[in-house]
A and B are shown apart, each in its own frame.
Chain A
Amino acid sequence: MSLTDPLDPVTAEILRANLVAITDEMKSNLRRTAYNQIIYEAQDFTVGLFDRDGDTVSVGLGLPMFVGGLSRAVKAKIAHYGHDGIEPGDILLTNDPDIMGSHLNHMIFTLPVFADGEIVAFASSMAHWMDVGGVLGGTTTDIWSEGLQVPMVKIYRRGVLNEEMLDLIAANVRFPELAMGDLRAQIAAIRTGERRVGALVERYGTRTLTQGFHDLYARGEALARKAVEQIPDGTYTAATTMDDDGVNLGVPVPIEVSVTVEGSDLTIDLSGVAPQVTGYFNSGMTAGISAAQVAFKFLTTPDAYPVNEGALRPVRVVLPPGRVVSATKPAAMRWWMTYPMTIIDCVFRALAQAVPEGTIAGHHADIGVMNLIGTDPASGRFFVFNGAAQGGGWGARAHKDGEDATICVNDGDTHNTPVEVTEAKYPSLLVERYALRADSGGPGQRRGGLGTVYDVRTEGPARLNTFVERTHSAPWGIAGGAAALPNRVSLITPDDELVSFPNGKIDSRPLAAGERVVIETGGGGGFGDPRTRPVARVLADVRAGYVSVAEARAAYGVALVAEPLAGAGEALFVRSDAETPWHLDEAETERLRGA
């Protein structure tokens, strides 16, 4: 079959719209039928359609960080079985970390779509299972301690379920009924994809459909290349450090990326990223490559849907095995998602040297997980409270301030948990405060977004774990903008004493009744010299309480005084203190800004 003549634009657009709609339907199908809340609330899943060779036709997210993961898994399955070894009615399953690059909870199901005896496409779904066995909580240092590993298997062979395989899986997970519910949901989602692709084949024929895939790639690639061409040729680098790997506490883990632009090609070189670590913050090659692809998608075709192979073609990723984001067995991977977020920010930081207006300052880069394990004093019921997704600051851009209180780049349509829901479910917890964190945004001509403060008290004894990164390396500013405040974890004792920690990872610390856990998420970095931010905007920030009077002076060179001076402007009331007016000291402001 020769694929040369592109389809007419009408058929091409109708196919495009249908492919987006199919992965949307697979997605809502999975969300609707999944049993565990990590899938339907945290949206930790990805579904997709792939061509005969495993290239991405359309992915429905879910989890943005998994944008390239499904395609690599489908390709690995094709390589393993060969096209001839895959038959109608087969459903292939794996969670091999060497293939999907992340923690073992990510189960990947793949189904071939046949037409006239030939494979025309694959439908695939990844979803996070609540539990896959392994040690409960605590520290892991190898993959075997993290649970059940499923190599490449056919869970269905020619339409027949392998019941023994199912029993083996059920015997190795803590909540088998949840797992089986999720398994059914994932299979239902890919069968939806199969049915709807089948309808397209019936209507348009294999040849037109396949040409439609290739037209999509060509258009996606053309749009992405146009965007890369706007970036001046050159090599740009950026570096930072992660706090530690959770085991070798206080030993920073260096991250270094190098981006080379040559015409319409862009290479992201991750050779400078630290070697894999003893602790559980490793991820596999697939995650490292996906991180680079996510950064590329942001930079080039952010609004083009469906997300497909073509739009990612112009990026080449250099990543030798054995790095912390290309770790190999027996690396532990439970917290796989944290480091790749900082890789993405480093790519933006590197390119800020070339095209500051095309990029964005650093963000808080963590999902802020804490868990509290205890027994409710009133009912005697055991509980595990997972707190996360409080939202933190995003970086400023050339044309806008950073967004406040927004989920990190690893996640997309993930929501926080309402305080009222948390307290109804965990009656011995009392949230004291959930607020924006003043002064946490990086100062700049455009200010970085604000992080949040989440302060929760336990009224009974409990044990605390936290898994918060980037408490040392603050989200950076670009183009002369300043850094934000980084993430922070602390405790407040019943006598109101503050307990600080060297990092954000607390392992099974007992809490007394009345103790409070405070998670403060970082802000976003600023863009441009803060002393060039218009005074009126600084004053508006002070009035609203986003920026304190002291910070206005120190970072922005805007001086406020309590006593009106001769010729001082109108009184300004700070939100937190309605009774004491402040006044702009114009002369001092001019002096500070001139300096």
Chain B
Amino acid sequence: MTLRAAVDIGGTFTDVVTLDDATGRLEIGKTLSTPADLTDGIVTGLTGTGAATGLTASLVHGSTVVINALTERRGASVALITTEGFGDVYEIGRVNRPDAFTMDFTRHRPLTGREHVFEVPERMRADGRVHRPLDEDAARLVAARVRRAGVTAVAVCLLHAYRNPAHERLLGDILAKECPDVFVSLSHRLSREYREFERTSTTVANAFVGPLVSDYLTRLRLRLADELAPDARLFIMQSSGGLSDVDTIRAAPVHMMESGPAGGVVGTIETCRTLGLRDAIAFDMGGTTAKASVIRDLTFPQATEYQVGGHGSGLPVQIPCLDIVEVGTGGGSIAWRDEAGGLHVGPRSAGAQPGPACYGQGGEQATVTDAAVVLGLLPSGSLLSGGLSLDGAAAEAAVGRVAAGTGLTTAETAGGILAIAAASMANAVRAVTTERGLDPRDFPLFAYGGNGPLHISLVARELGITRVVIPTAPAVFSAVGMLMADIRHDSARTSPARLDDLDPATLDRAFAELAAECAGGAVPASARVVRQADLRYVGQEHTITLDVPPLDTGLDPLKRAFDAAHRERFAHDAPDEPAELVNLRVSVIQPVPRPAPVRLADGDPLPPRAALTGTRSVILDVTAPPVTCPVYSRSALLAGNKIHGPAAIAEGTTTTLLREGDHCRVDDHGNLHLTIGGTR
């Protein structure tokens, strides 16, 4: 027996799953996160699932450690070194003001102060020519000042280093010599794309979390070797949906940013593959937010930039990252009334502490979860992780306070809170579909996260989606997805040139260089190389990223592919206009073998008697009396079982809710297929 394990650390819980390669059997563990030393939670979780043995061959790890350090601004004291004349680029940013009518708008807040920004005399041109050589004496002086400043990390971002990194490398050598104990991050090692503010912000963010994450990963590797699974290989889940080795991530920890959500999307893609689907919407609803992303043709939805803290006041990180839209609606989102009496839900959240009123930890404000308890969708008195039980009276009182003066009953208000939450989450799905010219009704909707399966029926109805899939282990689905990810490294380079000035051999060579850079040497024969290019018509600003076809017949196929992509996206093209190539992108993907998914025993359409564990009285329509709904245990269901709403399917602390008119079929692998509001 060999086991593979994945650990996903979130704000509240550390999720652990193990997979037996031989049987495909999945073990699940959920334990409270341990902020003081996150590795404690990992050890506890792994021990609980039996993964802490010599049988474990590999451990995949994803964590919010990077994103938390950035949003809570707990990180290293960082110095920034820039080209002379451009020390303020990081502070100036992009000057935009997204909240157009407020005097109290706030811009991005740099992670380091201006007194820690140093400039060096040097200058590259956009074509990579040296305009002014690096003044090495001045650079050594700056290094000495960096040392004196007492910082623990230094970020270096020089103009046009994406094109010619020679000066950054030289400066890196000088810093290594003069400040040997400082974590050094050079911009070109993280991003070879232009736009100096975004690259600087990426480099500073990396330096800011560098020492912390580096220590953390070192400790994790040691504990894994000493206490748990000495032979296990440790991999880190990246925002790009691929795995990386630990040493790469220690130098470039920003790649860990969205590892959890990326895991969920990889899981959705791989589940689609076993189900013979190519497109899907991935929907993840947790305690504070709901996230949506759209998968087309089994391809990981990728963006080239990420904003830490949202648009406008956020800090950009220019790395390949999961393309996702997030709204502030989760189980803990607070319902409130404005000065004119209007009812709203979120984006403020009760978080894990005090949590919803029904957690009985002193929360007074009504949340989405409290509304679900009032309606009986979650049973009062039932146990939660961490030994808490749901307090129905507290939920009732909290929702009652919101109802006061609206003319609505407490139950009507609870129903209203769920409807408003569903409308808001539906708008997140629209943002990744209708806003991009896609019709959400064409996609199956995968729902996971602790709260996804409970609310998905309403969200799907709001969107007119009839086909919903609840994958196995939805509450720890991100960790499950991490077990299905491939090893992947990405590289990109900005090198603007008109297509008619380029020849295929030059382009093939540039791609080969990038691929070797990704692979850290020769590309192994077993690896898959994805070649992409960002193109635009000459004179345009925005580009389209597209796969580059084989170039043996010249560049015409690339130009035609670009014209076609432009037509699909913008509804018009200009085949006679010249096109320009801006960025080259390469991903080298090393497939990780995965076992066939477990096969469930066949059952009848009628679920086995043992699966029916009881009934609940629930309010599904606030204008009608409560109805009695059967409750099934998911783990006892068999392939081919059918369940008709209203019904609840429980597993651990997560409930899948079928409303009136919803139908569920259990497939061979245990996924639940819901038909929303349809006929049998």
Contact (Cβ within 8 A) A17 B427: yes
Contact (Cβ within 8 A) B496 A13: no
Contact (Cβ within 8 A) A420 B339: no
A575 to B91, CA, bound (A): 15
**B246 → A minimal CB distance (Å):** 32
- Is residue A162 contacting chain B, with contact meaning CB distance below 8 A? no
Within 8 A of B (CB), among A447-503: 452, 455
Over the window 82-124 of chain B, the binary record of Cβ atoms lying under 8 Å from chain A Cβ atoms (1 yes, 0 no) is 0001111101111111111111111100000111010000000
- Is residue A418 contacting chain B, with contact meaning CB distance below 8 A? yes
A406 to B87, CA, bound (A): 17
Contact (Cβ within 8 A) A14 B96: no
- Is residue B609 contacting chain A, with contact meaning CB distance below 8 A? no
Measured between beta carbons, the chain B residues less than 8 angstroms from A303 are 99, 101-102
Within 8 A of A (CB), among B330-380: 337-345
Contact (Cβ within 8 A) B419 A10: yes
- Is residue A61 contacting chain B, with contact meaning CB distance below 8 A? yes
- In the complex formed, the residue of B with least CB distance to A302 is B102
**B408 → A minimal CB distance (Å):** 7
A546 to B92, CA, bound (A): 13
- Is residue B420 contacting chain A, with contact meaning CB distance below 8 A? yes
Measured between beta carbons, the chain A residues less than 8 angstroms from B413 are 10
Contact (Cβ within 8 A) B569 A415: no
Measured between beta carbons, the chain A residues less than 8 angstroms from B126 are 420, 423-424, 427
A61 to B102, CA, bound (A): 14
Measured between beta carbons, the chain B residues less than 8 angstroms from A400 are 104
**B161 → A minimal CB distance (Å):** 9
- Is residue A270 contacting chain B, with contact meaning CB distance below 8 A? no
Measured between beta carbons, the chain A residues less than 8 angstroms from B107 are 403-404, 406
- Is residue B30 contacting chain A, with contact meaning CB distance below 8 A? no
Contact (Cβ within 8 A) A17 B423: yes
A184 to B131, CA, bound (A): 44
Give which listed residue, A33, A188, A294, contacts B101 with CB less than 8 A: A294
A25 to B434, CA, bound (A): 8
Contact (Cβ within 8 A) A219 B342: yes
- Is residue A230 contacting chain B, with contact meaning CB distance below 8 A? no
A302 to B105, CA, bound (A): 10
Over the window 529-573 of chain B, the binary record of Cβ atoms lying under 8 Å from chain A Cβ atoms (1 yes, 0 no) is 000000000001110000000000000000000000000011110
Q: A9-B408, A575-B114 are in contact. Are A419 and B86 (CB under 8 A)?
A: yes
Over the window 116-140 of chain B, the binary record of Cβ atoms lying under 8 Å from chain A Cβ atoms (1 yes, 0 no) is 0100000001110001000000000
Within 8 A of A (CB), among B414-468: 415-416, 419-420, 423-424, 427, 430-431, 434-437
A575 to B197, CA, bound (A): 21
A431 to B89, CA, bound (A): 12
A405 to B416, CA, bound (A): 43
- Is residue A115 contacting chain B, with contact meaning CB distance below 8 A? no
- Is residue B396 contacting chain A, with contact meaning CB distance below 8 A? no
Q: A10-B408, A415-B95, A436-B92 are in contact. Are A61 and B103 (CB under 8 A)?
A: no
Measured between beta carbons, the chain B residues less than 8 angstroms from A298 are 101-103
Measured between beta carbons, the chain B residues less than 8 angstroms from A35 are 570, 572
Measured between beta carbons, the chain A residues less than 8 angstroms from B91 are 404-405, 436
- Is residue A21 contacting chain B, with contact meaning CB distance below 8 A? yes
- Is residue B162 contacting chain A, with contact meaning CB distance below 8 A? yes
Residue from B91, B94, B415 whose CB has the most chain A CB atoms within 10 Å: B94
Measured between beta carbons, the chain A residues less than 8 angstroms from B338 are 219, 223
- In the complex formed, the residue of B with least CB distance to A360 is B103
Contact (Cβ within 8 A) B196 A418: yes
**A552 → B minimal CB distance (Å):** 15
Measured between beta carbons, the chain B residues less than 8 angstroms from A37 are 540-542
A264 to B357, CA, bound (A): 38
Measured between beta carbons, the chain B residues less than 8 angstroms from A198 are none
Over the window 29-69 of chain A, the binary record of Cβ atoms lying under 8 Å from chain B Cβ atoms (1 yes, 0 no) is 10011010100110000000000000000000100100000
- Is residue A421 contacting chain B, with contact meaning CB distance below 8 A? yes
A147 to B216, CA, bound (A): 64
- In the complex formed, the residue of A with least CB distance to B435 is A28
Contact (Cβ within 8 A) B96 A13: no
Contact (Cβ within 8 A) B98 A412: yes
Contact (Cβ within 8 A) B407 A418: no
Contact (Cβ within 8 A) B435 A29: yes
Contact (Cβ within 8 A) B92 A405: yes
Measured between beta carbons, the chain B residues less than 8 angstroms from A432 are 85
Over the window 32-70 of chain B, the binary record of Cβ atoms lying under 8 Å from chain A Cβ atoms (1 yes, 0 no) is 000000000000000000000000000000000000000
- In the complex formed, the residue of B with least CB distance to A6 is B341
- In the complex formed, the residue of B with least CB distance to A437 is B88
- In the complex formed, the residue of B with least CB distance to A223 is B340
Within 8 A of B (CB), among A1-34: 8-10, 12-14, 16-18, 21, 24-25, 28-29, 32-33
Measured between beta carbons, the chain A residues less than 8 angstroms from B407 are 8
Contact (Cβ within 8 A) A16 B342: yes
Q: A403-B107, A435-B87 are in contact. Are A413 and B98 (CB under 8 A)?
A: yes
- Is residue B189 contacting chain A, with contact meaning CB distance below 8 A? no
Contact (Cβ within 8 A) B408 A8: yes
Measured between beta carbons, the chain A residues less than 8 angstroms from B115 are 543-545, 573, 575
Contact (Cβ within 8 A) A421 B195: yes
Contact (Cβ within 8 A) B343 A10: yes
Measured between beta carbons, the chain B residues less than 8 angstroms from A71 are none
Contact (Cβ within 8 A) B88 A435: yes
A16 to B338, CA, bound (A): 13
**A561 → B minimal CB distance (Å):** 20
A415 to B542, CA, bound (A): 14
- In the complex formed, the residue of B with least CB distance to A25 is B435
- Is residue B321 contacting chain A, with contact meaning CB distance below 8 A? no
**B542 → A minimal CB distance (Å):** 6
A115 to B413, CA, bound (A): 31
Measured between beta carbons, the chain B residues less than 8 angstroms from A421 are 194-195
- Is residue A578 contacting chain B, with contact meaning CB distance below 8 A? yes
- Is residue A390 contacting chain B, with contact meaning CB distance below 8 A? yes
Contact (Cβ within 8 A) B92 A226: no
Q: A405-B95, A420-B196 are in contact. Are A184 and B572 (CB under 8 A)?
A: yes
Measured between beta carbons, the chain A residues less than 8 angstroms from B114 are 544-546, 575
Contact (Cβ within 8 A) A14 B423: yes
- In the complex formed, the residue of A with least CB distance to B570 is A33
Over the window 194-212 of chain B, the binary record of Cβ atoms lying under 8 Å from chain A Cβ atoms (1 yes, 0 no) is 1111100000000000000
Contact (Cβ within 8 A) B430 A9: no
Measured between beta carbons, the chain B residues less than 8 angstroms from A219 are 338, 340-342
Contact (Cβ within 8 A) B194 A420: yes
- In the complex formed, the residue of B with least CB distance to A9 is B343
- Is residue B223 contacting chain A, with contact meaning CB distance below 8 A? no
- In the complex formed, the residue of A with least CB distance to B87 is A435
- Is residue B29 contacting chain A, with contact meaning CB distance below 8 A? no
7 closest A-B pairs by beta carbon, nearest first, are A391-B95, A10-B416, A412-B100, A433-B85, A302-B102, A64-B100, A9-B343
- Given A24-B431, A28-B431, A35-B572: 5 more A-B contacts, CB < 8 Å: A21-B430, A25-B435, A223-B338, A400-B104, A415-B96
**What are 9 A-B residue pairs whose CB atoms fall within 8 Å in the complex?**
A33-B571, A40-B541, A181-B572, A185-B570, A302-B103, A406-B105, A406-B107, A419-B159, A420-B162
Interface residues of A (CB under 8 A from B): 8-10, 12-14, 16-18, 21, 24-25, 28-29, 32-33, 35, 37, 40-41, 61, 64, 177, 181, 184-185, 188, 192, 218-219, 222-223, 226, 294, 297-298, 301-303, 307, 359-360, 389-391, 397, 400, 403-407, 411-416, 418-421, 423-425, 427, 430-436, 452, 455, 543-546, 573, 575, 578
Interface residues of B (CB under 8 A from A): 85-89, 91-107, 113-115, 117, 125-127, 131, 145, 159-160, 162, 194-198, 312, 337-345, 406-408, 412-413, 415-416, 419-420, 423-424, 427, 430-431, 434-437, 494, 496, 540-542, 569-572, 574
